[in-house]
């Protein structure tokens, strides 16, 4: 009877796992069903370059003149999409639109296995993470970083539970793939895996070998350190020898002593506030206060959007709702530590240090600071899954979190897909969409610019032309060249790396010579 019950329970688990993964994939396909095109702006340069590789057999991946020298220097997704397109005959457009479903499914399965091996509820964890608004929107297109997530979760799983040298062989192969796919998750993973044994050693050194503080761990520190070393060496060798051009604009220049200072300060604070005479760690009570303060600071950087677009405030709140319940979950987690709590502590320390550095000290990284929130959501998923199996009284709160995540995720993705409203920069605004008409119109301007006039445009325009030509994002009264504008510039403003400007107050004349006007773009010639 017990055996039969276990079989039925396993069967139910697999059924719910399939249901959750199917729902997550379906929601991410909504933009394709409604718009007939991919959601994210970031995917269009990848489609363009994959088309070049597929249609011209003489173009090699290292050909900067043909491929621009950016995406082809971190070419994991380009190589994958090109091979799939060649092997199946499917156009790159549909490869990037549909194949993302397989990547999301694989990421969810690997994350589920990791939580299960930790002793948590994998269904709860993947529901929390993959339905939370920001993470759901970001992973709705086959971007370089989204393609890297399966390798990120695979290395986390393999290294944490590694037992012998055979595991290291698989870890090495997966690490190389991650390194050539995207630098950001590689750096996060190196820091996280390295920090776990450092935290453990620090606790032991400061507080002695106390059983209530040094709980039983299933991981082997040796394998975590070796994996960190493999990833770090692979990263340095690859990006110094080949990939540096692909990241030098925003990442290489960002690895500074300031970042080291932030992470050391936050880790030291975490260790210092551990009480010597209590079983439970209370350091994150202090840490949460710091984090909430930083969150308020982060929101204040977008204050000009909130003030100038009052009608969009509810959408801004909509994105953050699933994360609000993370606070009581985390405080409960701190009072009832599961065995493997240091993996969560390490994740949160690394991600929050990076988030702090991005929004305060590095202007280039402020544009991608939303990506750090995605990794905090991954940590929140681990917390939810572990708590669900250890503290039954918190199950109702966790269920509320999951339901709220699903509802807000569906609402936000639907808002973008149906193009009903625009809101916060990078999440619900036009930044997340290029229409076919916009892309074709913009490239028409580029091709017809035989006089090689300087081109002006905002972040969205600059990213579309990334590696093809330089786009000036500084507007002034003495401009000379072509200014490319689109509808949302007039509605929401002109986006630059450091601010959003109202076109009406900029020192430019919108009534100058209009050389092109279409439903998608508006091109002005300044003599």
Question: pLDDT tens, 200-258?
Answer: 777 676 666 555 555 455 557 888 899 999 999 998 898 888 877 656 544 544 455 66
Residues 6+ apart with CB under 8 A from 51: 91, 92
CA atoms lying within 13 Å on the CB side of residue 377: 27
Q: What is the pLDDT of residue 463?
A: 72
The 3-state DSSP class for residue 522 equals strand
Say what the pLDDT of residue 516 is.
79
Q: pTM (2 decimals)?
A: 0.73
For the chain, the average pLDDT equals 73
Query: Which of 393-397, 406-410, 419-423, 484-488 is the most confident on average?
Result: 484-488
> Packing angle between helix 183-207 and helix 165-181, nearest 10 degrees?
130
Residues 6+ apart with CB under 8 A from 426: 367, 370, 432
Say which residues have a Cβ less than 8 Å from residue 201's Cβ, sequence separation at least 6.
none
Write down how long the chain is.
527
pLDDT of residue 233: 93
Q: Which one is predicted more confidently, 109 or 448?
A: 109
In terms of phi and psi (left: phi > 0; alpha: psi -120 to 50; beta: otherwise), the region of 82 is alpha
**For residue 326, what pLDDT is reported?**
58
Determine contact, residues 385/125, Cβ cutoff 8 Å: yes
Q: Is residue 359's pLDDT more than 90?
A: no
β pairing state of 481-486 and 455-456: parallel
Higher pLDDT, 87 or 298: 87
Q: Count, in order, helices (H) and strands (E) of the chain.
A: 25, 7
Model pLDDT, residue 82: 92
Contact 54, 155 (CB under 8 A): no
Q: Where are the beta strands (DSSP E) in 386-467?
A: 455-456
pLDDT higher than threshold 80 for residue 436: no
110-162 residue pLDDT tens: 999 999 998 888 998 998 889 877 788 788 888 899 999 999 999 999 998 88
Which sequence spans correspond to the domains of the chain? 2-36+99-418, 435-526
Is 487's pLDDT higher than 60? yes
For residue range 286-334, list pLDDT tens digits in order.
Answer: 555 555 555 545 544 443 333 333 333 444 445 555 555 555 555 555 5
Helix 257-272 × helix 183-207 angle, to 10°: 40
């Amino acid at each position: 009877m017990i055996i039969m019950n276990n079989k039925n329970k396993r069967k139910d688990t697999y059924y719910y796992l399939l249901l959750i993964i199917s729902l997550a994939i379906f929601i991410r396909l909504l933009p394709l069903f409604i718009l007939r095109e991919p959601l994210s702006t970031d995917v269009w340069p990848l489609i363009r370059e994959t088309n070049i590789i597929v249609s011209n057999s003489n173009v090699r991946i290292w050909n900067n003149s043909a491929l621009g020298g950016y995406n082809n220097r971190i070419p994991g997704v380009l190589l994958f999409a090109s091979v799939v397109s060649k092997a199946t005959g499917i156009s790159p457009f549909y490869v990037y639109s549909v194949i993302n479903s397989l990547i999301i499914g694989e990421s969810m399965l690997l994350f589920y296995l990791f939580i299960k091996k930790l002793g948590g509820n994998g269904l709860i964890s993947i529901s929390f993470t993959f339905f939370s608004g920001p993470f759901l929107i970001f992973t709705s297109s086959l971007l370089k970083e989204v393609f890297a997530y399966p390798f990120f979760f695979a290395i986390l799983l393999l290294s944490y539970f590694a037992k012998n040298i055979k595991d290291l062989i698989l870890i090495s192969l997966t690490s190389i793939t991650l390194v050539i796919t995207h630098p950001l998750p590689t750096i996060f993973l190196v820091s996280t895996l390295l920090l776990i044994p450092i935290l453990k050693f620090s606790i032991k050194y400061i507080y002695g070998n106390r059983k209530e503080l040094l709980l039983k761990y299933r991981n082997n520190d040796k394998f975590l350190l070796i994996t960190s070393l493999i990833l770090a060496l692979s990263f340095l060798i690859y990006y110094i020898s080949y990939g540096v051009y692909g990241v030098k604009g925003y990442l290489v220049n960002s690895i500074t002593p300031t970042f080291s200072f932030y992470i050391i300060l936050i880790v030291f604070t975490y260790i210092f506030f551990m009480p010597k005479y209590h079983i439970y760690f209370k350091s994150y009570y202090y840490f949460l206060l710091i984090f909430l303060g930083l969150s308020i600071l982060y929101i204040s950087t977008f204050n000009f959007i909130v003030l100038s677009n009052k009608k969009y405030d509810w959408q801004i709140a909509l994105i953050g709702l699933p994360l609000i319940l993370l606070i009581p979950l985390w405080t409960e987690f701190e009072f009832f530590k599961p065995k493997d709590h240091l993996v969560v502590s390490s994740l949160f320390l690394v991600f929050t240090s990076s988030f702090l550095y991005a929004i305060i000290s590095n202007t280039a990284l402020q544009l991608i600071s939303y990506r750090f929130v995605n990794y905090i959501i991954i940590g929140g998923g681990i917390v939810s899954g572990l708590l669900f199996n250890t503290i039954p009284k918190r199950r109702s709160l966790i269920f509320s979190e999951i339901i709220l995540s699903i509802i807000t995720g569906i609402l936000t993705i639907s808002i973008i897909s149906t193009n009903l409203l625009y809101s916060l920069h990078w999440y619900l605004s036009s930044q997340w969409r290029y229409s076919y008409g916009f892309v074709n119109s913009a490239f028409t301007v580029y091709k017809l610019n035989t006089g090689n006039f300087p081109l002006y445009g905002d972040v969205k325009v600059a990213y579309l032309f990334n590696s093809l030509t330089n786009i000036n994002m500084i507007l002034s009264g003495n401009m000379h060249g072509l200014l490319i504008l689109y509808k949302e510039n007039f509605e929401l403003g002109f986006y630059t790396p450091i601010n959003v400007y109202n076109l009406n107050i900029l020192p430019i004349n919108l009534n100058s010579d209009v050389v092109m006007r279409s439903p998608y773009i508006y091109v002005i010639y300044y003599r």
